[in-house]
Amino acid sequence: MKLLVLGGVRSGKSRYAESLGRATADPVTLIATATAGDAEMAERIAAHRAHRPPEWHVIEEPIHLGRALADAMTPVIIVDCLTLWLTNLLCDPHAGLLETEIEALFDVLPALAGTVVFVSNEVGFGIMPTNALARRFADQAGLLHQRLAPLVNRVVLMVAGVPFVIKGP
């Protein structure tokens, strides 16, 4: 079972994904893509670390998500989150890294067994960004979601902490 959990900032995406992991007796791997670029983000990361179960295996991988997914050896994998991963790729100075890493994700996807939960921000509901990097980010996030949604069994949209299943059982 592959799931894509979308929603705005503080919509309950991560909490929902974590609840799916907590509801299983199977071992869980969390792939965390965030980097602590400032004190506020460091606090967010610390809060996530404190909230998750200590028995979960954690892989902190901001760039090479496809490789991290291939290395995860548990029946349940949670990726939190795709849009932070995209941000890391867009801000990386290596030309072509974005395309290479997105293809690596889609290359490994068919081989993933068990449950894989992808968490991502739905940024398409907001205002049009005023600078080129923000517009590129919004475009890339939308394209990634459009490409991923047909390949997963379920898509859930989180609004105010409430999950709305928009695809699948």
Condensed to tens digits (0 to 9), the pLDDT of residues 114-129 reads 999 999 999 988 888 8
pLDDT band at 159 (very low <50, low <70, confident <90, very high): very high
**Is the Cα torsion angle 154, 102, 46, 30 positive or negative in sign?**
positive
Domain boundaries, the chain: 7-113+120-167
- 7-113+120-167 fold: Rossmann fold (3.40.50)
Active site residue 48: yes
Token pair belonging to 167: 């695809």
**Global confidence as pTM:** 0.95
Tens of pLDDT, residue by residue over 47-97, are: 888 888 999 999 999 999 999 999 998 999 999 999 999 999 999 999 899
Average pLDDT over the chain reads 95
Asked if 105 and 59 touch (Cβ cutoff 8 Å), the reply is: no
The residue annotated as part of the active site, out of 48, 51, 94, 145, is 48
Going by C-alpha positions, the residue among 62, 32, 61 that lies closest to residue 47 is 32
**Rounded Cα gap, residues 71 and 74, in angstroms:** 9
The tokens of 59 are what? 């892989």
